[in-house]
Chain A
Amino acid sequence: MSGDNRSDAIKIDGLTKHYGSRRVVDSIKLRVPAGCVYGLLGRNGAGKSTLIKMLLGMVQPDVGRATLLDEDITQLRPQTRSRIAYLAEGHPLYRWMTVAGAVRFTQGFYEREAWHEGFLGSILDHFGISPKAKIGRLSNGERAQVSLALALASDPQLLILDDPTLGLDTVVRRDFLESMIHLIQRSGRTILFSSHILGDVERVADRIGIMVDGVMRIDCPTDHFKTQLRRVVLDFTGSVPRFPDCAGLVSQRQIGGKLELVVVGYGEEHAALAESLGAESVEMMELNLEDAFIAYTRGETRPLPSLEWEPVGC
């Protein structure tokens, strides 16, 4: 294996998965360097969870290969698995166990020296979770917190979190994320987490990937994505033409007499096209990550109708 490979905590080469005739993950190629916090974005059903499950051996890929910490995912040894923490979607834990029971159960799989009991205790204490509490009686947020504590107790080198804030209300989500960032970010630790909540990713991720219909459409630094994507509004007096397909055009939609485009790297070519269409004015706006993500993943939409109304005396 080359030296370049060694610096990648996750290396994916052409992973593909079909469910029946539907291709849910399509030839994904991705490298996550060691120490990177990678946010995997996509709408529901985009293939994020399937990709993560393939990485962890929960789902068998049809084609392609991948390595985690330089080890092929199809042959992950228990020793390697012990260096990887995985928070599955929905934080599945045994509901009949108490928190202390879940800790004892999980601890049983790790070497004594690899298990940081004190650290785990302090995380649970931070979240205010009693070891005597029954998992089944905990709220979604508390269960997420217990999952995170259990995942971190073995001091993993790589964390893979599948939509860790799914189902949590806004306040709990914010608390959970802040604690997560505080707890898991340390030098050399690689984190891959999926989410469909952009604000979460924006705060945490160094790099993002966006999956649309099983395809990885974007893989770049978070800031780069935000600066490259622009919303361009073209104003027309008469009928609104369709913007010709060109490089960088992500989406277009008609809103009344305006044509709203989302473009990556708006440049001279786009400006010339806008002019040739007879646009009266061109307005350019920056997008926050959420707007950029929506624009990127929404796909083609029908034109929004104009509201015809007559003012009445009120």
Chain B
Amino acid sequence: MLKTLAWKESRELLPLAVLALVAQGLFFAAPWLPLVRWSGDRGTIPFVNQSAATQLLYLAGIAAIAAGLWQTLWESGRGTFQFLLHRPVERSRVFTVKLAVGMAATLLVAGLPILIYALWAALPGTHASPFFWSMTTWAWLIWFRLPIVYLGAFLSGLRPGRWFGSRALPLAAAVLVVLFIFALEQWPLASLVATLAVEACFLSVIYRVAATRDYS
């Protein structure tokens, strides 16, 4: 049954993931495309001035928010939570699979373009600047924090709120927390622990809300 659920969640997130990857691909390829005047990363040092990699991660962040909201609001809006949650399986398992697939999709959509960009940068002759894999560390640190944004969006979609402002509170909190964790970059271990702790907090609230909210 977990396979069935995972298949359903993956299938529902697939169009979103493809769209995000295509958008990132177009963004990356834009400087080489005809009729596009934007110079992008051409002539700059990859992963040093952070322009292209940062933009790719911004796009991935938007995709993470969309994924979290998609998995919850879409299900609520269509009334399918009532179909799904009546299946003979614990509610916590349903949400575990949802979250696992959503987080995996978030990490994949954010990580794949960064990896491809780094591999491109590592190829000799592609740009006139040095490249070391250690230059990508900051990008992977951001990548590692993206699930917080996804979880914030998921909780915003799941948590019933009387008005949009209060409903968006978890997402706003997630974004603020991610920005706060940036301040801990000097202490990588503290940053790692803080990220995991915040994710654990979000997960615990999500499970509680999932168990106690009304699906009406």
Residues of A at the B interface (CB closer than 8 Å) are 49-50, 53, 56-60, 78-79, 81-82, 84, 86, 88-90, 92-96, 104-106, 108-110
Chain B contributes a number of interface residues (CB within 8 A of A) equal to 26
Contacting residue for B87 out of A57, A81, A92, A95, CB 8 A: A81
Residues of B at the A interface (CB closer than 8 Å) are 1, 3-5, 7-8, 11-12, 78-83, 85-91, 212-216
Q: Would you mind naming 26 contact pairs between A and B with Cβ atoms under 8 Å apart?
A: A53-B214, A53-B215, A56-B86, A58-B81, A58-B86, A58-B215, A59-B214, A59-B216, A60-B214, A78-B88, A79-B88, A81-B88, A84-B86, A86-B82, A88-B79, A88-B82, A88-B83, A92-B78, A92-B83, A94-B8, A94-B80, A96-B11, A105-B8, A108-B3, A109-B4, A109-B87
Tell whether A90 pairs with B216 under 8 Å between CB atoms, given A78-B89, A109-B89: no
Q: How far is the CB of B76 from chain A (nearest CB, A)?
A: 10
Q: A49-B216, A53-B82, A92-B82 are in contact. List 5 more A-B contacts (CB 8 A).
A: A78-B88, A79-B88, A81-B87, A89-B79, A105-B8
Q: Chain B contacts of A94 at CB under 8 A?
A: 8, 12, 78, 80, 83
Q: Chain A contacts of B216 at CB under 8 A?
A: 49-50, 53, 58-59
Contacting residue for B88 out of A56, A92, A105, A109, CB 8 A: A109
Closest to B2 in A: A108
- Give bound CA distance, A135 to B29, whole Å: 38
- Give bound CA distance, A56 to B212, whole Å: 13
B212 in contact with A60 (CB, 8 Å): yes
- Give bound CA distance, A59 to B7, whole Å: 27
A82 in contact with B88 (CB, 8 Å): yes
Q: Chain B contacts of A96 at CB under 8 A?
A: 11-12
A86 in contact with B86 (CB, 8 Å): yes
Q: How far is the CB of A171 from chain B (nearest CB, A)?
A: 25
Among B11, B80, B216, the one with the most A-chain Cβ atoms within 10 Å of its Cβ is: B216
